Amino acid sequence: MKNIGVLALQGAFREHIDIIRSLGHKGVEIRKVEDLNSIDGLILPGGESTVMGKLLVDFDLKEILIQKIKDGLPVWGTCAGMILLAGEIADDKTTHLSLMDIVVRRNGYGRQLGSFKVDGVFKGIENKIPMVFIRAPYIESVGKGVDILGEVEGKIVAAKENNLLVTSFHPELTDNLEIHGYFINMMDR
Ligand code: GLN
């Protein structure tokens, strides 16, 4: 059984915790530095990246998270969580944790009508999986060490670089558990 932290400052953390529990693992809500002590992996959920980025600083979590992820802690950013991990945000000087060699575009599908669902291919998973996008970012470009795992309509929506996984979409809002399973497998490497 793994202890899987979910950053619980803001956004869709509860849904991730429920799925982790339904897969037989322990979901740990992360709000303070001590919560990070015994986790095997960490999910950065969807929500609002500007708010979450500011709360990471206010709750003194930013520097320790950067250190742990650099030390190899498996981390998965969904939607806003992907923006937190990005090394560059297009048309924006801001970065947050800035750990992954990707350029993301926020609200890449427009702000108002930007929510939709498609069945898409995810590298390493046999069947197409349901992908829910909510004012989602997409990845404009990736660096050499980044493996592209999913593309929808020519836009990169999932990628992995060593211990970092990112998805533009929200597997926690569907009943498909395969991406959670994929992430949990990353904890054994
Ligand atoms: N649009 C949000 C942002 O830029 C992300 C939306 C989401 O996480 N569903 O942070």
Q: What average pLDDT score do residues 113-141 get?
A: 93
Catalytic, 79? Answer yes
Residues 31, 174: Cα–Cα separation, whole Å: 25
Is the beta carbon of 79 within 6 A of some atom in ligand 1? Answer: yes
Among candidate residues 25, 79, 161, 180, the one labeled active-site is 79
Mean pLDDT, rounded, of the chain: 95
Which residue is listed with tokens 């004012």?
135
CA–centroid distance, 87 to ligand 1, in Å, is 16
pLDDT by residue (tens digit) across 23-81? Answer: 999 999 999 999 999 899 999 999 999 999 999 999 999 999 999 999 999 999 999 99
pLDDT recorded at residue 6:
98
Going by pLDDT thresholds of 50, 70 and 90, the confidence category of residue 111 is low
Among left, alpha and beta (phi > 0; psi -120 to 50; other), residue 19 is alpha
Q: What average pLDDT score do residues 154-181 get?
A: 96
Q: What is the pTM of this model?
A: 0.96
- CATH homologous superfamily for 3-186? Class I glutamine amidotransferase (GATase) domain (3.40.50.880)
pLDDT recorded at residue 189:
64
CA angle 78, 97, 95 (to 5 degrees): 95
Q: Which atom of ligand 1 is nearest to the CA of 79?
A: 8
